[in-house]
Chain A
Amino acid sequence: MTTPFGPCYAAEKVFPSEHIHGFWTLQDTRQVTAETLRRLGQDISSTFDLNNTLFLDTETTGLAGGTGTYAFLVGTGRFSDAHFVVKQFLMRDYNEELALLYLLDQELQDIDTIITFNGKTFDLPLLQTRFTISRLDFNGTKNKEHLDLLHMSRKLWRHKLESCSLNSLEENLLGVTRTGDIPGYEIPQRYFQFLQTGQGLLLQDIVEHNVIDVVSMAALLYRIYITTELKPNECDCPWEAEALAQICIGEENQKQALRYLHTALQLCENTEHQVQLLRTTALLYRRMKDYETACKLWRRLLELSNDDIMAYEELAKHYEHRLNDLKAASHATRRALAIAWQTKSPKVPDLEHRLRRIEDKSRRQIAAQ
């Protein structure tokens, strides 16, 4: 493709809306709403419209950043009518960079929102640097809203998945498996090899890799949407239910959070996770001043894990301050202290202080009687 700044390679691939990528079709993504995205902490205006949204992913000459790292391939994806159109701009050598930037800038003209995966820290600053160095008056990525799917994915699946890389999300959540895909770390060297040999075939893997990245982003956006929209009784994964509860806590909607947490507790089979869920739930009840239920949960927690300092401490507070049962309070504090000593916990001085106070109190009580 020729531009006022010389030539640059551009490719276009059109996917019909019914195209199936993993579990879903691309048109499913059209259901996504701004409200849902906002619940995941994305700062986005209500005029959000997929038609003016560009999915964007870069392939670069390195991960180090800085002014010597080039984005040699930029892949974009956009919904248009009944299609999803992937456009790729490739510089076949360094002297095509201006043309690439020009075409990308054109592509961004009527775009309001950019969607990336980890673009907040990587792709967008890098492109901004490239636009700046070009010293041309490109508008580039300035003044666009930006959604980072990595951030949203972390909110939902940080605990469920070992890694929130795009590959891991594809395999575990989207039903997408790549075959013969080039690993990301090999890309810069492959590109340099291409520059030295001029063999276009070397780039084929990278170009395909980039297409899948872009299309997967569209699918991932849908997966994020439907997960966020799950009602408490629709959840089938304790980690997701917990993540949704956390979102509700952030929204100060404690009642709904409790519903998600109860679902999570029902679904949960992993003891460690159960303990953690019980703790979160108990603390939430405490915040809502339902101390009785909170205590029930602390006791339930201790049945699963009898060395939990916090649970004993919380029980001790309850016995001392609300039930005025100093014997039980003393007992719970001693248990907490024994564990604290054993584990060299920094809580020791606090607990010792608490125990002294309780003992003093109970001596005074006995004396008074």
Chain B
Amino acid sequence: MSVNTVMEKIENHPRFMKNITFRHTLPAHPGVYEPIPSFVPHELTELLRKKGIEKLYSHQARSLQEVQRGRDIVVVTPTASGKTLCYNLPVIKTLLENEEARALYLFPTKALAQDQVAELMVWSEELGGHIKTYTYDGDTPGDARKAIRSAGSIVVTNPDMLHSGILPHHTKWMRLFENLRYVVIDELHTYRGVFGSHVANVLRRLHRICQFYGSNPQFICTSATIANPKEHGESLLGRPVTVIDENGAPRGQKEILFYNPPVVNKPLGIRRSSLLEAEAVAHELIAASIPTIVFARSRLDTEVLVTYLRKSFHKLGDTTEKIRAYRGGYLPKQRRQIERDLRDGKVLGVVSTNALELGIDIGTLQAAVLTGYPGTIASTWQQIGRAGRSNEPSIAILVANSSPLNQFMIQNPDYFMDKGAEFARINPNNLYILVSHLKCASFELPFVQGEKFGDVDPEEILEYLAEEMVLRRVDDRWYWMSENYPAVEISLRSASTENFAIIDTTDGQTRVIGEVDRFSAPMLVHEGAIYIHESNQYHIDKLDWERQKAYARQVDVDYYTDANLAVDLKVLDVFEKEDLPHVKRNWGEVMVVAKTHMYKKIKFYTHENIGWGEISLPEQELHTTAYWFSRPTDSGDNLDRDALQSALIGASHLLGNIASLELMCEPSDLGVTAQIRSPFTGEPTVYIYEKYPGGVGFSEKLFEAHNRLLQRALTILTQCPCPSGCPSCVGPVEEVGVKGKENAAWFLRGILDLESNKQAASISTATEKFTRTNRKA
């Protein structure tokens, strides 16, 4: 069945159509072409012709021209627009002209790297085999590494490996660094927030090493649509870039549908689970033999969805092969197999976390089902773009869940369509991150006085490290004076470097089936947890915290587990504040202590709570930055304690969800907590904190956006049709009480000073600033 027939079927399906809140057709778009530039070597032009490429898309041709001119470029075009040619053409051209030349390719994930190497190998073979392409990552066998170092024309790796495996051993990579002509960075938009801030510093280190070996490579980057490609590219690379953003690739018609699950409990404002609805939607598509990808928001959701889908196709016999899960915790070998099966068409439905959002080549998927709003507009377009390549029509359905963010997006589709993508933000000068990388850089080569690190003059920090006896200053240089290998202690992706291994002990064997990061471990693999892997359920029998191992046993139960996180927060320092009669707001340094106390057992399908258990694991501390505001208790009509509690819970629920919208960051980058009588302010206070040590600048942005943020929160609250609170606004009525909505509204109005409008205008202007000078060290 074709996509068009399915669309017709959907249109004639009243139960389905009833829930469609928005429909948009992206028309088919013809391609814009240009001839292959004459400076491309004949053999490469010939090869392109052999592959059926007589002319280039306009953005591909422009990439070649700009690179030829010596520019560093960022190509911003949608998924499946032939981005790889934008870097492969100039690179291969140069390698054909100069056998000694080298290129370094950086991909955010190993899976993407793997894909690229496969493609480049084919090219190389057809060009006579001179161009040697290798992946260099954690999976590369020891004996192959030596050959890669000296002979690899194109080394394909990821930023993590560059950080911990290549730069600290740069002498072994002398050939690469001496002859490095291009650095290719694919999926530039993924390098944002904490990860991006780290990667910007890794690139500063790369610049230093290249300079040492006398090379000055050009950068060729590609990115999904973001609002600020130029700014982002420049802050990441630390140099000016040329942006190429006119897309010359043709595209097939695409239907975009927003689907809001029906309200099943009007008084409580509860909608039908987005998981169940997404499953139903995906079922229809797969049943019509339309290759479909379903995106889930978490690992857990992925596994639950696969289980549901396989069961729903039960009548067709064993569907284990046809419907597969794909997510981060899988071992590399498993993932490669799934990718192959997708390409070969052995798999008809795949359920994925955002691991597949990036441009892995998985062939012809015709439909994408998004379980919940992915958190950012850029991600949403990426996921939508996974279905449908070039000329075929395709369909993408966003199934909303009950969270305020989802409900905001689905009820305000114009925001989604008009707003364009998010800004990618990084803060390479976050002190934690900067200090970490200055250590790594000092390990790699001593700093010389006056030397810059990106746009930073590192002297002050180097002196500090010398006082700490990590470095030693002799004459005008700082030398590494420690036995440690600093890169090992610094992980680019999360605050902790250590992952927990999950070990299957079923049948007396021991087998590692997956891993989770340290911060997630108390939530996912506490004793008593049901961990789901490849749709099999595992009961965690024992969690060895010290050795970072969780022992699991396969079980078959009708529930899953969900752990609760309790958060305590202490203010350490205030960077900026504003005190008004109706609100005191601040941002500054805080210490967050998180502890997981208990978990719930939740029954499949009905999602009812069927039991709970205690968790006793150590607290986790996080030294970070936060934005917080309080309502002075002497400001008139005070509520009683219970009402205040309900107001705070409601406001936190709302703000936690929409702050990421305001910041255009991942919702998981932020945490929110409230105190009814904060030890610091002495007043009812809401805190929004950053989940990365030291923060990456979100708290400051929230401080600036205070008014807009609270206004929007109030709008969502008043627009929500529920009577007294639901998951889509202040949270379920069981948590906030019957007056939850009213209380939260009172709290927000009070803070916005809406009762006395005369002051409202002054809020945004009269800001008292105590900017700490050393904050931007």
Contact = CB atoms under 8 A, between A and B. Distances in A.
A128 B488 CA distance: 22
B483 A189 contact: yes
Given A61-B481, A94-B479, A189-B483, A67 B474 contact: no
Interface string B436-462: 000000111110000000000000000
Interface string A189-226: 10010011000000000000000000000000000000
B482 interface: yes
B174 A66 contact: no
A95 B474 contact: yes
Contacts of B481: 61, 192, 195
A353 to B, nearest CB: 24
Interface string A82-99: 000000000001110000
A94 B474 contact: yes
Given A189-B483, A195-B481, A196-B469, A68 B474 contact: no
Interface stretch (B165-173, B496-504, B696-704): B165-173
B483 A66 contact: no
B483 A67 contact: no
A299 B486 CA distance: 58
Contact of A62 (B170, B469, B483): B483
Given A94-B472, A196-B469, A188 B171 contact: no
A64 interface: yes
A63 interface: yes
B171 A62 contact: no
Contacts, number: 65
B475 A95 contact: yes
Interface string B168-187: 11111010000000000000
B12 interface: no
Contacts of B443: 66-68
Contact of B446 (A65, A94, A129, A135): A94
A128 B171 CA distance: 8
Interface string B460-490: 0000000001001011010111111110100
A192 B471 CA distance: 10
A64 B484 CA distance: 7
A61 B483 contact: yes
A94 B482 CA distance: 13
B169 A66 contact: yes
Contacts of B480: 61, 68, 70
A128 B146 CA distance: 15
B210 to A, nearest CB: 14
Given A94-B446, A128-B171, A196-B469, A68 B475 contact: no
Interface string A174-197: 000000000000001100100110
A67 B475 contact: no
A67 B484 contact: no
Nearest to A61: B483
A68 B444 contact: yes
A67 B442 contact: no
Interface in A17-66: 61-66
Contacts of A63: 483
B171 A129 contact: yes
Contacts of A129: 169, 171-172
Interface string A121-134: 00001001100110
B136 to A, nearest CB: 16
Contacts of A65: 169, 485
Contacts of B446: 94
Interface of B: 168-172, 174, 212, 442-446, 469, 472, 474-475, 477, 479-486, 488
